[in-house]
């Protein structure tokens, strides 16, 4: 008998297979194994997936919505440093990889569904299925490219230009993300972003 939840899980798993399929070809055995080690999770809007000060040992595959990375600077001002949009893997990269406490919080911006893998299970996966080293490498590479793009946007362009480039890059999302979060991602205050938006209207 298929319960309602199990249908959701199957959908999620299919989505994960298809995502991984972008990186390597999956055999039936691979798929069996994936289905076994990932755990289905529901995540509520605003829930913290990872927290500043804690070591992050989880890797999540999220299928819908998006997450926000943020921290507080020396003055206690909240800074949004990143967004990741589904379908994607999410973790506090630096903490997950180094085993050191995270400097950032990761927050679900919508009610989301996810498949979770622990760091231990991932490492076992790497040992037993070398194919997944490649997946890990390709994903790490895409994370590196993602960061570099954000970096390039911040360097030496006036705030208005940065905002327009962001709009071009994520046309679907930028108008739905609260402005205050986008502002610090662009390295400006929300008041300045509000004025920039107005001036282009």
Partner DNA sequence: AAAAACCTTTGATAAATATCAAAAAATCAG
Partner DNA sequence: CTGATTTTTTGATATTTATCAAAGGTTTTT
Q: Estimate the crossing angle of helix 131-154 against helix 159-169, to 10 degrees.
A: 150
* CA–CA distance, 166 with 169 (Å, rounded to integer): 5
CB of 28 to DNA, least distance (A): 42
Binding a second copy (rule: CB under 8 A), the pick from 187, 191, 194, 195 is 187
Query: How far apart are CB 135 and a second copy at their closest, in Å?
Result: 9
Nearer to a second copy, 15 or 91 (CB): 91
**Residue 151 binds a second copy, judged by CB under 8 A:** yes
> With CB under 7 A, what is the number of residues at the site for DNA?
20
155 touching a second copy, by CB under 8 A: yes
SS3 105: strand
| CB-based contact 117:135 (threshold 8 Å) | no
Selected range binding a second copy among 41-49, 115-123, 147-155, 167-175, rule: CB under 8 A: 147-155
The whole-angstrom separation of Cα 111 and Cα 132 is 29
Distance of CA 200 to the CA centre of its chain: 30
Is residue 159 involved in binding DNA (CB under 7 A)?
Answer: yes
For a second copy, the binding residues in 43-102 under the rule CB under 8 A are: 73-74, 77, 79, 81, 93-94, 97-98
- Verify binding: residue 178, DNA, rule CB under 7 A: yes
Distances (CA, A) of 142 to 15, 136, 167, 180, 184: 19, 10, 21, 27, 23
Q: Find where tokens 């895409």 sit.
A: 142
Dihedral angle, C-alpha 28, 33, 35, 36, nearest 10 °: 150
- Record the tokens describing residue 148, joined without a space: 């570099």
Which residues are at the interface with a second copy (CB under 8 A)? 73-74, 77, 79, 81, 93-94, 97-98, 103, 126, 130, 133-134, 136-137, 140-141, 143-145, 147-148, 150-152, 154-157, 161, 184, 187
Which residues are at the interface with DNA (CB under 7 A)? 75, 77, 156, 158-160, 178-180, 187-195, 197-198
């Amino acid at each position: 008998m298929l319960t309602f939840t199990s249908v959701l899980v199957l959908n999620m798993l299919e989505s994960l297979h298809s995502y991984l399929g972008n990186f390597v070809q999956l055999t039936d055995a691979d798929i069996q194994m994936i289905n076994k080690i990932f755990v289905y999770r529901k995540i509520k809007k605003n829930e913290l997936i990872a927290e500043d000060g804690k070591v992050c040992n989880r890797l999540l595959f999220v299928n819908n919505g998006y997450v926000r990375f943020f921290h507080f600077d020396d003055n206690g001002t909240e800074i949004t440093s990143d967004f990741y949009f589904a379908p994607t893997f999410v973790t506090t990269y630096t903490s997950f990889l180094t085993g050191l406490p995270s400097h950032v919080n990761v927050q679900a911006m919508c009610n989301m569904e996810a498949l979770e893998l622990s760091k231990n299970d991932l490492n076992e996966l790497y040992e037993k299925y070398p194919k997944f080293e490649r997946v890990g490498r390709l994903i790490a590479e895409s994370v590196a490219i993602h960061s570099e793009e954000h970096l390039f946007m911040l360097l030496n362009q006036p705030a208005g230009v940065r905002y327009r480039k962001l709009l071009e890059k994520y046309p679907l999302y930028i108008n739905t993300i609260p402005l205050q979060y986008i502002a610090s991602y662009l390295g400006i205050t929300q008041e300045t972003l509000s004025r920039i938006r107005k001036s282009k209207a």
